[in-house]
Structure 1
Amino acid sequence: MRPSKRTEILDAALRVIEAGGVTAVTFESVAEAAGMTKGGLLYHFPTREALLHALHEHLAGQWEASLVEAAGSSAEQATEAERLGAYARVATQSATRAELLLMLETANEPDMHATWNTVLTRWTPPLPEKGDLSQAQLRQVIARLAADGLWLHESFTTVPLATVVRAQITAAITDLAVQATDTESVTR
Structure 2
Amino acid sequence: MTVERLEPAQTAGERAMLEGWLDYHRRTLAWKCEGLTDAQLRTAAVEPSGLSLMGLVRHMAEVERGWFRAVLVGEDPGPIYSSDKDRDGDFHVTDADTWEEAYATWQAEIETARRQAAGFGLDDLSKGSSRSTEEPFNLRWIYTHMIEEYARHNGHADLLRERLDGATGD
Is the TM value for this pair above 0.5?
Answer: no
Q: Which has the higher strand share?
A: 2
For the pair shown, the structure with the greater C-alpha radius of gyration is 1
